[in-house]
Chains A and B, each alone.
Chain A
């Protein structure tokens, strides 16, 4: 009974997460399209430095081209802000597109986890279905990992704004770095392991069924 309750709670959380994913995707597309026609509405919309696309969990900046010669004084003056509408079109499209791809694959992973929880009810095919679910999850995580890594290699022009004595100055920089997310690798390996475990469990179950 306890385990059934846990599975039910887990299913509810996954369904909520799926719903949030879809809402985020729709909101992102709406903001991206609306900001093109009405940029003043999103003047203050910031891209956070620690958002997934900008996260550098293990990165090394290989080269940085700074356009303004007094950029060092600008960097030291205040908080660096990245306004969405101040980025150029290519950067905005890259940001929106990559976030949508990541949302899509995280939606697929959530969907597979939901399939896994529903397969727990059917004891006959539980192990086989679970093995397939986790191997699909590992594929999706692999795609996310490759995408994040490849996308991080593409140099982006980022416009940063600094508050210097009440005036806003903008600096355009091109940065090149690579991003290797070890958390994703761990999850990928864990999914592959679970898939192998369930496959072996299925083999043992069918052998046990054929034990007279």
Chain B
């Protein structure tokens, strides 16, 4: 008995899940990109403390 036999439903769901995965990866890239832009644009100032500096 072939337990791994695929149905059209599995293909449809695989496509949908792959699409969601790609969107999540894109969201992560966007957040990383925004972080890089914000940090390198000089909007954040380093706080220099008296300890260990």
Do A and B pair up? The answer is no
Q: List B residues at the A interface (Cβ < 8 Å).
A: none
